[in-house]
Amino acid sequence: MLQDDFYKEIQHELELSYKDKLENNTYRKQIDIPLFKCFVQQVKEVILPEYYPALDSKSISMEEKIRRLHGTLVQLLEYEHENAAKHQEDAILLMKKLPGLRKYALLDIKAAYEKDPAATSYYMVAASYPGIYAIINHRISHELYLMGYPIVARMVSELTHGKTGIDIHPGAKIGESFFIDHGTGVVVGETTEIGNGVTLYQGVTLGAFSFRKDEAGNIVKGNKRHPTIQDNVTIYSGATILGGDTVVGAHSIVGGNVWLTKSIPAYSKVTAQPTISIVT
């Protein structure tokens, strides 16, 4: 059995190391993962009650659900700003966006149902499709991102990443009627802009080139690094589209495993040309 002195030595060394902290550390308290999960669930209970009933009680009134959500939201906002008045003000602003979030969610569910022949009902789509889970969470995190809460927004998006394998940065702008089929391995970068009616399949990357650096060797941040996807584009599995200047024109089709680093006009069809060898 190890001696008490060993544990005290480790404790002492750790306590000394705690003095060394990374700069720009904005965390005010330990991240409470269950609180973030609770927040997302409560948002869904309010904007889509027909698909996401309250987990604790089906008889709870909508007014009480809204009050409870507001309280949870204020707690989350405390992670980034110490101004209590700002927490309340911003929470009210976000609460006012709930009807708009419902509008987007219904259009996304409808798009998934219409585009997937395997979908037998709207309920199936809302309750079980990873792409729907991802886009609803993204629309929540995007509003938080726009309001200046990048840590809270990123924590919400990471709930999606961990559960579905879909990685959408909260900063990405995504239009209505968005559908991700299957979803695993999809990556959408921060400055991506996606129009209406777009469909992505599994393994699609909307990414950036290697990052530019300034004279001091630091990565240049804040510029557009990811592609723009216009309305009604379909991008099949494994396709990679890179660059802030890359625009995929409306109604285009990007085939599986395509590597695209330049713009294409509307109504284009891009396919990869792999070498196929069949041995019999």
CA 233-105-247 angle, 5° bins: 25
Q: 66 lies in a domain?
A: yes
Same-domain check for residues 38 and 153: yes
Yes or no: say if 139 and 101 are a contact pair by the CB < 8 Å rule: yes
Q: Which two tokens stand for residue 118?
A: 């395997």
- Residue 90's domain spans which residues? 32-164
Q: What is the CATH number of the domain that holds 216?
A: 2.160.10.10
pLDDT value at position 22?
Answer: 67
Q: Are residues 159 and 190 in the same domain?
A: no
What CATH number has the domain bearing residue 46? 1.10.3130.10
Does residue 137 carry a pLDDT above 80? yes
Do 224 and 243 fall into the same domain?
A: yes
In this structure, is residue 249 part of a structural domain? yes
- For residues 218 and 268, membership in a common domain is answered with yes
Q: How many domains does the chain have?
A: 2
- Write the CB contacts of 109 (distance below 8 Å, at least 6 apart in sequence): 122, 125, 126, 132
User: CA dihedral defined by 106, 196, 220, 29, rounded to 10 degrees?
Assistant: 0
pLDDT band at 221 (very low <50, low <70, confident <90, very high): confident
Instruction: Out of 164, 195, 214, pick the residue that ends a domain.
Output: 164
Tell me the pLDDT tens digit for each residue of 80-127. Answer: 877 888 889 999 999 999 999 999 999 999 999 999 999 999 999 999
Domain final residue pick, 113, 134, 164: 164
3-state secondary structure of 26: coil
> Contact, 150 vs 167, CB < 8 A?
no
Indicate whether 176 and 108 sit together in one domain. no
Listed in sequence order, the residues at least 6 apart from 70 whose beta carbon sits closer than 8 Å to its beta carbon are 91, 92, 95
Burial class of 272 by CB neighbour count within 10 A (0 to 12, 13 to 18, 19+): middle
The candidate with the shortest Cα–Cα distance to 229, out of 241, 214, 237, is: 241
* CA nearest neighbour of 49 among 72, 33, 66: 66
**First vs last Cα of the chain: how many Å apart?**
63
pLDDT band at 29 (very low <50, low <70, confident <90, very high): low
Mean pLDDT, the chain, as a whole number?
Answer: 92
Do 212 and 158 belong to one domain?
no
